[in-house]
Amino acid sequence: MKKLLAGWMIACCISFLLSGWAFAEEEGKVISLQQEAEQQLQKELGAFEITANQRELAKTNEAGYSVLDAGRGNPNWINTQARYAFTRFSDFATRECELDMSQGSMAGHARREGIGERFDAAMDPENATDAFLIAGVDYCVNALGLDKDTLLKELADAVIGDYYPSPSRCLPCTEIILNDYLQSTLYRGADLAGETMVFPTEGGSAAMVYIFEALSHNRLLNPGDQIAIATPIFTPYMQIPSVKNYGLVSVDVSSSQEENWDIAEAELVKLEDPAVKAFFLVNPSNPASHALSEKTLERLKRVVEKNPDLIILTDDVYGTFSEDFCSVYSVLPYNTILVYSFSKLYGVTGWRVGLIAMNESNVCDRLLSELPPEDQAFLRDEYSIVTAEPENMLFLDRVVADSRSIGLYHTSGLSTPSQVFMALMSLTHLVNAEDDPYIRLANETVRARYTALMNALELPADDSAQNAQYYTLVDVLTIAGNRYGADYAGWLRTSRTEIDFLNDLAAKKGVVLMYGPGFSAPEGTVRISLANLYAEDYTEIARRLFELLDDYYAEYEAETGLDEAA
């Protein structure tokens, strides 16, 4: 009874919050980011609470079906090549340390002199993992111009983890490798690797926390400033605790299914207002899973011409799943801060590895130089404890310093073994950049699952180049109407809430999906992840969903007397 009462209270609170959110939009009220973050926090908490409750309900579902949980975005695949290479190179580096000094379980440090020759002698080209490491090192030397001994010494020390990251922001050879990977996968031909700075972070979430904190601390975003948010969006980004203290004002820049989840020109016009200081988006989006079209990218360029101080934050974690993807950073490098994570493509969410990338010439550094004298004096005092020339400290280096409260700047930076792992994942692509079999297989995997789901739901598939197909948003009422007609869909709308439907789907049929409005998606939608189940499972999800709609239809017939009339 206590669980039922608690569930009823949660549902009532969520219903109240959602209705209040809709009213505020209808009235056109300005909502501060603090208010919005609190509302979105409750809304997203409700979505995850709903999903957590569904998982419990699904375990003992009435039909006795096996649980099919398509609510998770974590992929059910991993990249093995980078993992085998990491283990193999760690073994090589450990033996290098023993060459320096070996007493029991104690060893010294790897030596630079001759390490390239020793690497060549240790690697067996007939072994697949060794052959990849050989190819990766050759690529770094021949294509990237790195010195072999310098590269191997950096990677050996880093994989062992026997030194603090130096420089704190990114290891030098590793930064070149990561830049080459970003250019190959995200920039669609734009040559930006040589002018881009990288800061590896503990995943994309940490990157966002660091960026927001540094923008606020450095007076680039101040209370009362407007920040535009591209919706629907993965709203946990709005749950960053400190965001609620910034006193910013949110401007909604929405996409819609009618626009194929692209951003309409009328929405982008909002960004032309100089009062809008920053624009935050996920590209391809979550949950709609669509990349911005070339038309929208061109419109963004015109927006920046009218609002040249606009700071754009783009999270491109799903970029490799979209055909011919083009990052906002590649067309607007001066204005854009790029966030990327290896988590989804390579199955490394538990590793927490991502990065921030910025151009050497960027709007943030210019805006820092134009701050009022009192703000510049404040920041000069803040950063003087870590540099003799704080006024010349780049914004991205300030992000690094702020990530450790400035005072621990000298011990900041992502763990060096994690940086090596990122370099190895990058090299699995770079040595096959013309036709990467792993990325091709990942894309084919989600595409096959998406196709199976759409076919089973009897919905038209969206095979446009912009559709990453990592997630999909499905309108349950549309499916109901297609199956039994508009009258039944209308009855379902009034007799069941989205939460009722999701709970019934879990409790009766063992299927777990995500609540679409929890991502600011339209009412009536559910998010289905194509990442964590197999193709046949998505066909089964559709079958069970139809089975539940059939059960509802029997109730509809009984209530409306259709069965008697028949």
3-class SS at 538?
helix
321 vs 339: CA distance, rounded Å: 16
Task: Report residue 321: phi and psi, to 5°.
Answer: -90, -5
- Annotate 192-222 with DSSP letters as a single string: -GGGEEEEEESHHHHHHHHHHHHHHHTTSS-
First to last CA, the chain: 41
Task: Report residue 511: phi and psi, to 5°.
Answer: -110, 135
Q: What is the mean pLDDT of residues 62-69?
A: 97
CATH number of the 174-361 domain:
3.40.640.10
pLDDT over 70, % of the chain: 88
> Does the pLDDT of residue 524 top 70, yes or no?
yes
Residue 308, CB-side half-sphere exposure with 13 Å CA sphere: 4
Summarize the chain as % helix, strand, coil (round to 5).
55, 10, 30
Go through 110-143 and write b for each residue having 16 or more CB atoms within 10 A of its CB, e for each that does not.
Answer: bebeebbebbeeebeeeeebbebbbbbbebbeee
Please give the pLDDT value at position 25.
38
Q: Compute CA distances 301 → 165, 304, 455, whole Å.
A: 37, 5, 38
Q: Report strand pairing: 471-475 vs 525-529.
A: antiparallel
Helix H or strand E segment including 200? strand 196-201
Cβ contact 392:384 at 8 Å: no
> Does the pLDDT of residue 457 top 90, yes or no?
yes
**Across the chain, which distance is largest between two alpha carbons, in Å?**
91
> Does the pLDDT of residue 42 top 60, yes or no?
no
The DSSP 8-state label assigned to residue 291 in this structure reads P
CB atoms inside a 10 Å sphere around CB 478: 15
Please give the pLDDT value at position 137.
98
Please give the pLDDT value at position 106.
97
> Does the pLDDT of residue 292 top 80, yes or no?
yes
Please give the pLDDT value at position 29.
39
Residue 46 banded pLDDT, cuts 50, 70, 90: low
Residue with tokens 């606009």: 310
More confident residue, 2 or 142: 142
**pLDDT, tens only, 249-282:** 778 888 988 888 999 999 999 999 999 999 999 9
320 vs 440: CA distance, rounded Å: 9
What are the tokens at 469?
């197909």
337 DSSP β-pair partners: 313
The distance from CA 223 to its chain's CA centroid, rounded to whole angstroms, is 27
Q: Compute CA distances 125 → 135, 148, 193, 291, 488, whole Å.
A: 9, 18, 30, 40, 65
**pLDDT, tens only, 198-243:** 999 999 989 999 999 999 999 999 988 889 989 888 766 655 534 5
Helix H or strand E segment including 356? strand 354-359
530 vs 448: CA distance, rounded Å: 9
3-class SS at 147?
coil
Domain ranges of the chain: 2-73+437-565, 80-160, 174-361
> Does the pLDDT of residue 404 top 50, yes or no?
yes
What are the tokens at 246?
């910034």
Helix H or strand E segment including 499? helix 498-509
Residue 528 banded pLDDT, cuts 50, 70, 90: very high
Q: How many helices (H) and strands (E) does the chain have?
A: 22, 14
Q: What is the model's pTM?
A: 0.89
Cβ contact 199:167 at 8 Å: no
Please give the pLDDT value at position 244.
54
User: Which CATH entry fits the domain spanning 80-160: 1.10.20.110, 2.60.40.10, 3.90.1150.10, 1.20.1050.10?
Assistant: 1.10.20.110
**pLDDT, tens only, 461-509:** 999 999 999 999 999 999 999 999 999 999 999 999 888 999 999 999 9
> Does the pLDDT of residue 442 top 50, yes or no?
yes
> Does the pLDDT of residue 376 top 60, yes or no?
yes
CB atoms inside a 10 Å sphere around CB 234: 20
User: Which CATH entry fits the domain spanning 2-73+437-565: 3.90.1150.10, 3.40.50.300, 1.20.210.10, 3.40.50.720?
Assistant: 3.90.1150.10
